[in-house]
Structure formats: C-alpha cells, structure tokens
Structure 1
Amino acid sequence: MPFDSWWYNCVSLAVDTQLYHLGAMRLQRNGLMAHRRTFHWPSLLTESGRGIAFGGDYNPDQWPEDVWDDDIRLMKQAGVNTVALAIFSWDRIQPEKHRWEFGWLDCIIDKLGKAGIAVDLASATATAPLWLYEQHPEVLPHDKYGHPINAGSRQSWSPTSPVFKEYALTLCRKLAERYGTNPYVTAWHMGNEYGWNNRYDYCDNALHAFRAWCERKYGTIEALNAAWGTTFWGQEMNGFDEVLIPRFMGADSMVNPGQKLDFERFGNDMLLDFYRAERDAIAEICPDKPFTTNFMVSTDQCCMDYADWANEVDFVSNDHYFHEGESHIDELFCSDALMDSLALGRPWYVMEHSTSAVQWKDLNIRKRKGETVRDSVAHVAMGADAINFFQWRASAFGAESFHSAMVPHAGEHTKLYRSVCELGAALKTLGDAGVQGSELVRSDTAILFSAESEWATRSETLPSKKLNHWHDVRDWYRAYLDAGTRADIVPLKYDWSGYATVVLPTVLMLSAADTARLERFVRDGGTVVVGYASGLIDENFHTWLGGYPGAGDGMLRTMLGIRGEEFNILGAQAEGEPSEIRLSNGMVTRLWQNDIAVDGADTEVLASYAGTQADEWELDGTAAITRNPYGKGMAYFVGCDLNVADLAVFVGDHLTVGQACEAGDGADYDPTITLHTERASAEAIFDFYLPRGKNETVVSGISGEPVYRFQCDEGEAPGVYTIRRNGVLVVKRYNRQ
C-alpha cells in the first residue's frame, strides 16, 4: 500500500486539529497545556490514516524467516494493523560492538508495511546484549545488599551509568538514521516498562547521582537535614558528600522515611531522564514521528509517578493485565479511569494486555468465553483508541512461553485465535463508526490519586503496615459503581477544581499548598471526602502537629470540624482482642479507627462507634463519620476503614443526591449492575453498556443506532436489548445541531 511521509503529515495534522478542539478545554482545566508535549497520535497505513489500532508485540527474531509470511497472513486475516517491533532485539541489531545487522529488520518492516501493517519501532534498549555486560560489568544495577543484579532478564542496567547510556544512545541514533524516514514506521516505542527491574538501584553511580539530585533539590545541606529530620537517631550531615542511599542497614532497621521517600522520587526521575535522553537522541534525527513508552498502571502496580511521565510522551500508553476474580471488570475500569486522566481526555494506547492467562502470577487464570473481546472493548469504552497484546505468537521457549498470545501454541484453528479475529472485526466496526478521537465524558466526582502517597504507605514507620493508597482508590471507585454512578480518578497534582466532589482515600501525604487547594475548593462550593489516613504527613514525611488530620497546620481539621488524638489499630495478631468494631449505622471497621473529638459548631455526626467491641477499645459513642459545612461547600470525614459494600452505602446516602447516573438519551437500566460510559465527538455520542457481573442485563429505552453488539440480543420491542455475560452493546447517537 503506497504511503509516504507527505500523506503521514497531512493525516496527522487533520487528526491533531480535530482532537485539539475536543480536548483543549480539559487541557486548560488541568493547567497542563504549557507543560505537555504536543499531542501526536500515530497514523495507520489505511487510506485515511485513521482507525482503531490493533495488534501487539511482534518478535519475529524468535522464529525462522519461513514463519514470517505466515504471521503476516494471519495478521491480515485477524485485522491487525499495527505491531510493536524490536523491543528486545538489541543483540540481533548489534551482535558485536562494531557490527550492526539491520538486514533482518529491514526485511520484516518491509513485509509488514506492504501488508498495510504499521510499525511502532522500539529503541530496543530494554535488554542489552550479553557482550556489553561482559565488557562493561559496571553498567549493572545493584540491590540494597550491594549485590549486582546480573544480566539474563530485562532492564539489567543502571539508569545512572554513563557507559550504558552511551551505548544506548548510539543504538537510538543508528535506528533513527536508518528508519526515521521509513514510511512504514509511524511511531517510536522507547524502552519498555521502565523500572521493571531497575526501579531501585543502589550502585555507586546511583549514590553519586542521588547526592547531585539532593543538592539540586535542596540547595544547602541545612535544608536537606531539616527535610529529612536528621536530628533523629543522629543522622545530621555536614555536606552532600555524606548523603547516603537507603542500602541494607540490618534486618530490623527502619529507614529514615524522608530519605526513603526522596529515593523513590530520585528513582522515578532518573528513569524519566533516561527516557528523555533516548527520545531526544532519536528526535534530533527524526522529529516528525510520535514518541511513547508503556506505563504499567493497574491497581496492583503503579511504580512511577506517571503524572510526570505523561508530560513527556506524545501519546499515553499503558500495559494492563486483568485482576482475577469478581473485581475483574471493575478493576479494569478503575485503572483506565486513571489512564484517561493522565491522557487529559485524549485517546490513549493499550500497548499490552493478554488474550487469556499469563504465567507470572501465583494464580494464572484464563479468560472465559467473550472476555478477550469484552475486555478490549471495555478499554475502548474508557477512552482507548488502540488495543494491543503481548504478544503476537506464543513463544516456544523462554521465560514467558506459557503467556497467552494472539496466536497460541495450538495455532490458528483455536478458540483463542478466532476470538482475536472477532475482536479485529469489532474494532474495525467501531473505528468505521467514528469512535476514534471521541472523548470519554467525565463524571462529576474525582477520586484523587497520589503516587507519592502510594510510596509513603509502603513505609515501615506508620501506625499500620497494611495501608495501601491505590487499593483504597480502587475500593472507592467500586463503591461508586455499586452506588449506581461512576467517578473519575485524577492525579492529586493535576487540577481537579472543575469537579463537584473530590475524594481522598488514604492520601497520606498532603502539602500545605495542596491543603490550601482543598480549602478553596470547599469554600467555593465543592464537596470533599477525607479518608481515615489522609493528611497525616507533609511532603517531607513530617507529621503534621496539633491533632489528626493536621495537614496545612490544622487547616484540614478546621474544614472537617474534628480533631483526632490517637489511632486505634486492629488485627488478628492480638489474641483475645476484638478484630472488628461496629458503627451505629451497621457498618463495620476492621483495621483503623480515629479517636476524634467534634470541634465544629455545625459538625454533624453521621455515625459513631457502638457496641461491646467499641466499648472494649473505649470508643463507644465516639464519632466515626462526620459532615461539616464549610464556606459554600461540605467536608466529610470517614474516620475508619470500611469495605466496598459499606462505602457504597455511604456514597449512595450522601454523595449521589442529584447526581443520578447519566443514561444515554433516556435509556433505562440498572446502573449498579451495568457499566455505562459515553464517548463524545463533535458529531456523535457513543454509549457503551457492559454487564459488571456474571448475569445478563437488560437495557431498554435505547435510542440511536446500535453500531456494535457482542453477546447481545435485540428484543422484540424497539430499543430493548439483553446483554449476556461478557457482552457489549455500543450505540451511536448523533448530536443535534
């Protein structure tokens, strides 16, 4: 298929212009337009350059060349239109220090391009060739015990190693020189899952880089001593040459929490710097094609501060692997809600997910009938315009040979490959209908996520080691679904002032500036919900004083109208002690209770601790959930941990009044068991309906054109559909002019 750079640029300009008008308001709302790279979506090799991208990681170097043509035959049959190529291929590209082999890569890119399959070309730096490690063992990262993390897996390199960076950037430039003008290469895939194996590096290079990072941040050693509170345990430093990284200090030793938090920030920044260096090395030669790297966002992992990383890519990408069990689809929606915010409402890219089971979990559950298609369309329902898998063909050997793929070990005559073909057809249907480029319609509630609070909850110096900020975000998200509505998930550092309600689930760390933002939000008429372990420390891990939660030198307490003196922590380890405490409204808490006094004149107690277990801990009658009017708004305090069911009751009773779940143009359905999202473009609104559980669901009063039905039956009456388990209904409504 003929495709040249002129056409590529024209198509990209047209797509970017359309998306700019759709997304500019959200960019301005988040105050990030000046700090973001210009959005640039990769074109396909279609006549228009548009369509929903579909494909996956392709590793032809694992297979003899006589398999390649069959791969492309099967790709075309499945509707694949893009692949990520050469992610782990550095050793094939540069088999020796002074020898480069591009012939095989030239051949496969040409075969793919002529078949109409675009290439997202990797920088190939995720794994280095073994000769590099043999010649330069100093590039290896070290663990906290001082042991080198040896080669043989992925990311076995230190991001602070100048030697490794020199080799990596040379590779980047070589790839850019060779493929920068290739019409079949339409995007650059930098690295792969940065931080997977080198998020924490304790080598001497890292030590020197950390000292320089601290000096840039603090300026003087006195400022660093104050930030880390080094007078505790006699850790005061006389100069930055005495700064240490938190290496192993003994089996029972506790790390200075301020030092550990800064080391987390440093690790994030060092890898982000490495990504920028790779990107810029290619951009100097090939500036016209978009750059991305795959984030790792699910509610079981979010190792980087992706709110910062999102500023440095031309389009946001994510690797998401499903959570087994009954929370499967809810967790997918939760993770995707954060991705939509990171993308500022622009389309985003599923770079990896799985067709069925993986092989790296303790329990590797396969997907049931329809889940491969359902999960993929669910990502589209949450704003994704690209659906890709790891990987195209299941490996015959190696560490991930039992990881599911688009073509399984049993070949093309399989249920799995047939479902891949079914998905390819579905995505083409959605693309042809105009879904690509439309934006997810936001909700009126923002659940705030903070990577730094997630890092902080891992500290061993807190009242409980069972805190988990990201899991609490997930629980609140699911509670909103159970209450029949949907929330967005927004990074704390973004601008969330346009929402009606914000929720802070275990946002342990709040700076004075962020507390002031909350105060203005409530004073101006917003509703804030503060969770039980929020606002306890500042950005340096210093405990706010004067009572809990003390953020903003007591500003948060004033907003809430309460003052806490102590935490009550429960656990099964305390034999003979109550393992749970009931509330006066029937809810139950099992981990953490705040012992608070109500200070505000207008503060209302919505529930208190009650019963014999509460009395045992001297909490009987103590306020557990409160509400306080503040300015023109309202501030709630949920002073104890609650399960999803109890949170849903709270949301339904107090936070959804006048906020009924939006139904597409008069549609009738049960929002507690049916997921519904809207994606809107200038021309149309696309309604996506998916059952949350195992049972079928009925939706009625549906107007508009049903553009895609999967495991979904149309009823005898107009506008009535029965969506069976793992089914999907997508309806298109045209905007009224």
Structure 2
Amino acid sequence: MPETTPTGLTRLAFGGDYNPEQWPESVWQEDVRLMREAGVTMVSVGIFSWALLEPTHGVYDFGWLDRLLDLLHENGVRVDLGTSTVAPPVWFYREHPEALPVTPAGVRYEFGSRAAICHSNADYRAAAADITTRLAERYADHPALAMWHVHNEYGVPVSACYCDSCTAHFRRWLESTYGTVDSVNEAWGTAFWGQRYTDFEQINPPRATPTVGNPAQALDYKRFADATMRENFVMERDILHRLSPGIPVTTNFMTALSQCDSVDYWAWGREVDIVTNDHYLITDGRRTHVNLAMAADLTRSVAGGAPWLLLEHSTSGINWQARNPAKAPGQMARNSLGHVARGSDGAMFFQWRQSRRGAEKFHSAMVPHGGTDTRVWREVVELGASLDSLSTVRGTRTQGDVAVLWDWHSWWAQNLAWRPSEDHDPRERADAFYEALYDRHLTVDFAHPEADLSRYPLVVVPALYLMTEAAGRNVTAYVENGGTLVVSFFSGIVDEHDAVHEGAYPGPLRDVLGLTIEEFSPLLQGQLARITGPDGSELAGDVWTEFVVPRGAETVWTYADGLTAGHPAVTRNRLGEGTAWYVSTRLGAEGLDALLGWAVEDARIAPHVDLPRDVELVRRTGESGTYLFAINHTASDAKVPLEAHGTELLTGERAAGRIEVPAGAVRVVRLDG
C-alpha cells in the first residue's frame, strides 16, 4: 500500500514550487543555501517541465533533473516530483493539434498558455503515460523522492472539451452509465421540446444552441468531463504505483475557488493517496481569513478527516485578481498556521523564487524580487522556525463540532440556466452559513449528503437544490435519532437527473421539515422581505421568499409584507428525538446568527462565550497529544481560555487558565496529559 504521508519527511512540510529551469544553474547553489536558512523541508519540482524533459518527440534529457534532485538530497530537502503532464510541449501540439480543447461554440484553443488539454484525446493519454513511465523508471528509488505530483490543478482553466473525440467518448460514457438510449431519454426528459434520441450516435455534447439546451444533458456532461479528467489521473497514478511502489501519489486540489467548480472533490478524494490543496485569498473586501478557514475545513473533509497538505498558497500578493494587495506583516504566518490548525501537515507556497518573466512574474514568492533583505524573506525564515517547533503536531487530526452538507453535483445543477433567480448563488449561501458558524467559534466538517451524520449534534444544509432520495432518507433518520437540522431555501427540489421530485416541494425533505411549499416567489433586485417573530422583533430577508404551508411544523417567524405576507418564513419541526429548522428567505448575518442560536440550543452545543470575534480556537488531537491553536485576526491582544495547563510551542512558555494571544499572532498550546 502506498504511504499516506510524504515518505522520509519527519517534520511539517515547508517549501514551495521550485522551478530552477527558469534560472541558470549557478543560482541553484544559492537556492539550496537559502532553503537551509529558511528551514525548507520539501519542494515541488518539475510540474511544468515536460518541454525540457522531452525537448523533441522521443528525445529525453534528464541530466538537469538528475543534478537537481541530487543537490536537493545532499541538502536535506525532500521532493514532490511532478509528472509534467499539465504542460505538453509545443512539438506535441504540432503533431497532434486535435489535442487542443474546443469550446461549446466550436473554437479550438491555441498553444501558449497552460493546461490546454482535451482529456479524451488518445494521443495525449499515450504521451502522458510515456513521460510518466520514464520519470517513474528513472526516479522511483531516488533518495530525495517524497511523493509524486500528477498534473496540476485539474479543471483549471479548462475542464470540458467539445471536440469530436469527446463526442465519441461521451457516447461511450453514456452507454456505460445508462445501458440503453431509452434510459438516457428517461433521465434527460427528452420528451420536452422533441429531443428524443433513438441511437447513441445521435447524441452530441451540449454545444452552443439557439436558446437554453437540455439541463440534464449539461449536468451529465459536467459529470463526464470530471470523470474523464479523473480517468487520466488514475492512469498516471497506477503507472506510478506499479513502478514506484510505496511512494504516495497526489494531485493538488482547489476546493475553495469557484474557478474549480468543475471538479467533484468527494470523488477525487477517494483516488489520491494524500489530499493536497492550493488556496489563495480572494481579496474582495470580505474577511479573507473566514474563506481560508472554510477552504481548510472543506479540504480536511474531502480527506475523510485525515491530515492533508497545503501544497500552494502565497507569501504575499497574488497576480490574477483585478486588485492584488500585499499581505500585512504577520499575515503570512497567520494564514499558514490557520491551515495547519485545520488539519494540514505543513504549509507550502507557489513559489520558491519569484519569476522574472512569464504570466506570473508579479505573484509573490518565498524569495522575492528584492531578495533576502525584504520583509517577506524575514517572515519566511520566521515561519520556517515556527513550523519546526510544531513538528509533533504532524499526524494529529482536527476535531469538528458541526457538519455542513455540500455536494458539487448540486452546485453544478443549480448553476445551470433558467433557475427561478440568478441572484441565488449556492456558494454564497454556503459561505454565509459557514461564516455564521465560524463567528460562533464552531469548527465545521463538510459532509456528503449521504454520509454518516450520527456524530454531529448539528447539521446545516445551506444549499442542496439537487438531493437524492437516499440523501433525504439519511437526513430524516438523522433527525429522528436526535439530531438538529437546519435547511435553507431551494433545497430538495430535483433528483440526480435534475428532474423535480414528484409531489410538492421540497421533495425528500417534506417529512423531516414538516411542511410543503406551494410556490417560489423570488424577489426583485434590491427588494426586501420583512419578517416578524412572536415577540414582535423583526428581521429582513432578500432574494427569495416562498409560500410555505406547515404540515406539522410550527411557525417561528412570519412574512410581514409582500406576496407571502402571513406565510411562515422560518419553521421548526420536531421529529422523533430531534428537530428540523427551515428558513425560506435569504437572511443576512444578523438573521443567520439568530437562527443558528436557536438551533445550537436545540443541539445542546455549549457556547464559546469567552472568545472574541475573529479569534479562532481550533483543536488537533492524536497520539502525540492535544493541541489548541489560538489565532488572533484582530488588531487587539486577546485572552483565550484554556481547559488545562500546557506548553505554548512557539514561545516555549507555560500556559494555565488563559493564554494571551497578541494582536495578529498565533499561539499553539500542547495540553498536559
């Protein structure tokens, strides 16, 4: 069995993407000297190097990589070795131009960027298998090798291709999935608009059409594209497992970025030996540390709760947003240790040395353009020392308090065209509910809707438009057995084929919520819905309202105006030993806090009353002990309560009762016992 941690690595992973091919070899000696100074333990190598490894078809040059890996090994740096298959060389595309992907409108992309790949193309698959095989045969036993890195950020920037190769592959996939063309017709509802097929050869990808195409077809094409990328990953992984046994294989995910909404990470998490993730702050005015925490929690959940690895983030500013501010002093360490608190066994960056040329030359790096006499470099060295002092955290697990249900297939389906309101964004609702739980200092595990939920006192469903009957039975049993459930609007509407569940909305959630919904009534842009509580208090919702009819549920808040005036806005239903809440409008932060306050009481979760806002307290436990991470994102010092005495690992000081966490700082206490 392959390892599930980087082989030979006894400390937390610290380093970054190392692209020495961008520099003369005379720089390499300086690089490894600086790596020793910074405490680097591992670097990622060769991710975009196919053109150097195979400069012309069938002619290979591994000499430079031999020298590099030897140099890194001599200096105590482990290697995450890329297969380079994300960047086929220009000669490959000149020989096989049909390997470039085609858009739904029939436009074929050109060479000159990154990851321009038709994943159904047989020539690409053969060439990728060849370079992977040659790398594995050459470096399987190299003493620097810690793990294999297949491809890079699957799904970015292209996941789906619409060429003739994909057409043939899609037809085979449909036949394998459905068996008969009649089953496809039933699943896709092709009786609508006269789209019925009599042969698989009649079916094409969902290319550009005069108006909206078949949504079930579009949903299945997303599944097909994801499965096709995964097939290629598994192909490379299996070559590496065969030729390099015992060395773990990964590919880097991007769980939190909407640009990776084409990847079902629940499925991918089952295929990699180590779950790794790339995370970059979205600096759009929101609290970036909350998105960071969410990304880390989601990645840990994809890993099944096991330790995972942050394989890329930035030392300071990035380069691909409209505005790319620098990180504040201390923010690099705070971001890095925030990921570690939530399960990462290290903190790595893109990239080691900042590029002078190319599209990402303004993306920050561990060694910036200004060199070592810079704030960024000094903070890199300090972070390396901090991670070294936390080595015993490695292998422990982060403990979640509550669960949030999330399903990429539902996200795909809801984001298709012609839904009741384009203002209802499922990811926005997930972010909003997560932020409300974060502000209650609750650590979140994400879960698939059909997963075992029995260990969680509270389960939240922020947006689950697509919900299988099995998922409905799962959450119903969860409540019957004593759980507390919170469901937000437009959930439980369609099945796995985007067909509306028979009967009244919300389909498989009707019984557990104790209600039906007669009709959706989305609001116009800027329109608000006033809702009132039994004590006369008021809240406001926007985007969405519904005509809710209680069927056993009690009304907690009521619409006070608009078309739905007098109808329930928030309900509570007791079922078996548990309770299910439903909210039929988009609540803001105040409303979500009130709603979750009631649900937390039902779930009997003890409040964290002593923690200030924007001060995290996260727990990791394992054979080496229990560790409390206190992360202060505020501009004021904070005192954090401790349940037991312990030792603060970053300063070496003893801690009892409370620990002071300076403004913008992190403290990690290893509890006694």
Q: Give the match for residue 520 of structure 1.
A: 477
Give the corresponding residue for 2:619. 678
User: What residue is the counterpart of 1:281 in the other structure?
Assistant: 239
Give the C-alpha shift of residue 339 in structure 1. Answer: 1.1
Whether the aligned pair in 2 keeps the contact of 1:160 and 1:209 (CA below 8 Å) is yes
Structure 2 unaligned residues grouped into runs of 5+:
none
Distance in 2 of aligned mates of 1:693 and 1:509: 38
Separation in 1 of the partners of 2:213 and 2:493? Answer: 19
- Asked whether 1:723 is paired with 2:661, we answer yes
Task: Work out whether 1:330 is the aligned partner of 2:283.
Answer: no
Alignment partner of 2:629 out of 663, 680, 688: 688
Identity %: 35
Counterpart contact for 2:2–2:245, Cα < 8 Å: no
Contact 1:696 1:724 in 2 (8 A): yes
Seen in structure 2, the aligned counterparts of structure 1 residues 688 and 654 have a Cα distance that, compared at 3 Å, is same
Q: Is the 8 A contact 1:450 1:493 kept in 2?
A: no
DSSP-derived class of the 2:365 partner = coil
**Matched residue type, 1:447:** V
1:300 and 2:300 aligned? no
Residue matched to 1:454: 411
Post-superposition CA distance 1:212-268 (Å, at most 9, x none): 111111111111101000011110000111112111113xx1121100110110011
TM-superposed CA distance for 1:522, in Å, is 1.5
Q: Is the 8 A contact 1:485 1:672 kept in 2?
A: no
Q: Could you tell me which residue of structure 2 aligns to residue 43 of structure 1?
A: 7
1:589 matched residue in structure 2: 541
Cα distance in 2, alignment partners of residues 696 and 200 from structure 1 = 49
Q: TM-score, normalised by structure 1?
A: 0.88
Helix, strand or coil for the counterpart of 1:675?
A: strand
Q: Which residue of 1 aligns with 2:221?
A: 263
Distance 1:656 1:363, change over 3 A: farther
Is 2:669 the partner of 1:734?
no
Q: Distance in 2 between matches of 1:536 and 1:723?
A: 46
Give the direction of change, closer, same or farther, for the CA distance of 1:669–1:43 in structure 2 (3 Å limit). Answer: farther
Deviation of the 1:653 alpha carbon = 2.6
Distance 1:221 1:681, change over 3 A: same
Whole-Å separation in 2 of the counterparts to 1:672 and 1:651? 16
Aligned length, in residue pairs: 668
1:111 and 2:60 matched: no
TM-aligned CA deviation for residue 702 of structure 1: 6.4
* Change beyond 3 A, Cα 1:564–1:314: same
CA distance in 2, matches of 1:490, 1:406: 34
CA change 1:232–1:732 in 2 (3 A) is same
Q: Any residues of structure 2 matched to 1:371-410 within 5 Å, and which?
A: 371-410=331-370
Relative to structure 1, the CA distance from residue 180 to residue 257 in structure 2 (aligned partners, 3 Å threshold; closer, same or farther) is same
**For the Cα contact (< 8 Å) 2:346–2:387, is it kept in 1?**
no
Q: Structure 1 residues 420 and 671 mapped into 2: Cα distance closer, same or farther (>3 Å)? A: same
Deviation of 1:407 (Å): 0.6
The answer to whether structure 1 residue 562 and structure 2 residue 507 are counterparts is no
Any conservation in 2 of the 1:320–1:350 contact (CA below 8 Å)?
yes
1:262 maps to amino acid: D
Deviations 1:79-130 (A, max 9, x none): 0010000000000000011211011000111100100001110001110111
Further displaced range: 65-74 or 698-707: 698-707
SS in 2 for 1:627: strand
Secondary structure of 1:312's counterpart equals: coil
Instruction: Pick from 421, 442, 447 the counterpart of residue 485 of structure 1.
Output: 442
Other structure's SS at 2:138 match: helix
Contact 2:398 2:620 in 1 (8 A): yes
SS at match of 1:206: helix
Deviation digits for residues 575-618 of structure 1, max 9, x if unmatched? xxx44434444221110111111121xx21110111xxx1xx33
Change (3 A) 1:662 1:729: farther
What's the CA shift string for 1:558-581, capped at 9, x where partnerless?
A: 2212111111111238xxxx4443
- Structure 2 counterpart of 1:167: 127
Q: What's 2:323 paired with? A: 363
Residues 495-519 of structure 1: per-residue CA shift (max 9 Å, x gap): 3232222111110011111111112
Alignment of 1:246-261 (within 5 A): 246-250=206-210, 253-261=211-219
1:302, 1:451 within 8 Å by CA — same for their partners in 2?
no
- CA spacing shift, 1:487–1:282, aligned 2, 3 Å: closer
Q: Which amino acid aligns with 1:675?
A: E
Q: Do the aligned residues in 1 keep the contact of 2:458 with 2:599 (CA within 8 Å)? A: no
Amino acid paired to 1:42? P
| Residue equivalent to 1:143 | 103
Match in the other structure for 1:208: 168
Aligned equivalent of 1:429: 389
| Counterpart in the other structure of 1:315 | 274
Aligned to 1:31: none
Which has the larger displacement, 54-63 or 617-626?
A: 617-626
Q: Is the 8 A contact 1:673 1:697 kept in 2?
A: no
What TM-score, normalized by structure 2, do the two folds share?
Answer: 0.96
Of 2, 19, 22, which aligns to 1:62? 22
Q: Is the 8 A contact 1:449 1:470 kept in 2?
A: no
Does residue 599 (structure 1) correspond to residue 551 (structure 2)? The answer is yes
Q: Which runs of 5+ in 1 are unaligned?
A: 1-36
Q: SS of 1:378's equivalent? A: helix
Q: Contact 1:683–1:734 (CA<8 Å) still a contact in 2?
A: no
222, 238, 242: which one pairs with 2:198?
A: 238
* Structure 1 residue 473: Cα displacement: 1.6
Find 1:650's aligned residue among 589, 595, 613.
595
The farther-off stretch of 556-565 and 287-296 is 556-565
CA contact (8 A) 1:661 1:671 kept: no
RMSD: 1.9
- Find the aligned partners of 2:606 and 2:396 in 1 and give their Cα distance: 20
Among 380, 397, 401, which residue is 1:420 paired with?
380
Query: 1:530/1:206 Cα in 2 relative to 1: closer, same or farther (>3 Å)?
Result: same
AA in 2 matched with 1:568: S
Aligned-residue offset at 1:55:
0.5
